[in-house]
Amino acid sequence: MSTDSPAPRHVPVMLERCLDALAPAISAPGSVVVDATLGLGGHSEALLTRFPDVRLIAVDRDPQALELSARRLAPFGDRATLVHAVYDEIPRVLDELDVPEVHGVLFDLGVSSMQLDEADRGFAYAQDAPLDMRMDQTRGISAAEVLNTYSHGDLARILKVYGEERFAGKIASAVLREREREPFSTSARLVELVRNAIPAATRRTGGNPAKRTFQALRIEVNGELEVLDRAIPGALDALAVGARIVVMSYQSLEDRLVKQYLQAGATSTAPPGLPIVPEELQPWLKLLTRGAELATEEEIEENRRAAPVRLRVAERIRRTRR
């Protein structure tokens, strides 16, 4: 990709909802907000524009995304600090920047628009491309390496757990059989293999049958759930009292993990019937969404990638944390 072209414009998912959720916490001068998933910088640009006194710290594991967003956010000068890091490294990033606490954190999980739209990244099953799927192509193993080296048991496990694929065992068997003939390198061959491994009756509903397999491989390659399992507690620890966290998840495994952490912080650990609850046993988070909020029809019409989103918002209400 040429570095001379302007950063592409895109419609950030549920942008107004995110800005409104963060507004009470980041409107004051000196507020610091973390964009944990910078991507093409749409949410970050809107935050810097809407809140002229806010300082932004944005991280992304994708060097190409950082390069594009740096040009997009250049007009904001030193109000925006962009860091090449995975979002479970936010505590380290804040420590290195000498930022003891923040007033807002935004997570827009999943694959960025850029990664989906660029065929050679291998994320999209609708077009033939190298089977890479790494969000940071400078490190880690590719999806092709997973397919060509994992045992039947490991392949079946990630397809079942990460892709919630009912036919994980059949697909894993087909992969092992086919890779003996020729190693996997491109997505079209994998899509065809999955289609043939799944019963015809199942193929007729639920969209592209390869969707779950591609999701599973992407999560495995990027360690997404393990990273998220570290990232949410790290982000919550960084919140000042009155600060807010907004998380948009795109599949149930992510949302379930986020829900567990937010609900745990919003639940008292005092024994039932205790007449006076010590502060250290009281909730330190307040949930600001009833369950997970979904995108409206208008939001989906504006950006079809909002369709699967589950949005959760919480506010830190006291310093004490168990």
Residue in the structure block whose two tokens are 């925006």: 80
DSSP letter (8 states) at residue 100? -
Which sign, positive or negative, has the C-alpha torsion 92, 98, 100, 105? negative
| Residue 229 CB burial class (10 angstroms; 0-12, 13-18, ≥19) | middle
115 is in an annotated binding site: yes
Largest CA distance in the chain: 70
| Residue 104 known to bind ligand | no
Tell me the Ramachandran region of residue 118: left when phi exceeds 0, alpha when psi lies from -120 to 50, beta otherwise.
beta
Q: Is 136 annotated as a binding residue?
A: no
DSSP run (H or E) holding 250: none
Give the burial class of 147: count Cβ atoms within 10 A of its Cβ; 0-12 exposed, 13-18 middle, 19 or more buried: buried
Residue 207 backbone class (left: φ over 0; alpha: ψ -120 to 50; beta: rest): left
62 is in an annotated binding site: no
Nearest Cα to Cα of residue 210 among 145, 122, 119: 122
Q: Annotation-wise, does 229 bind a ligand?
A: no
Does 108 show up as a binding residue in the annotation? yes
State which H helix or E strand residue 247 sits in.
Answer: strand 239-249
Known binder of ligand: residue 261? Answer: no
From 319, 256, 262, 312, select the one nearest 107 (Cα to Cα).
312
70, amino acid identity: A
Q: Which residues are annotated as a binding site for S-adenosyl-L-methionine?
A: 41-43, 60, 87, 108, 115
Q: Which residues are known binding-site members?
A: 41-43, 60, 87, 108, 115
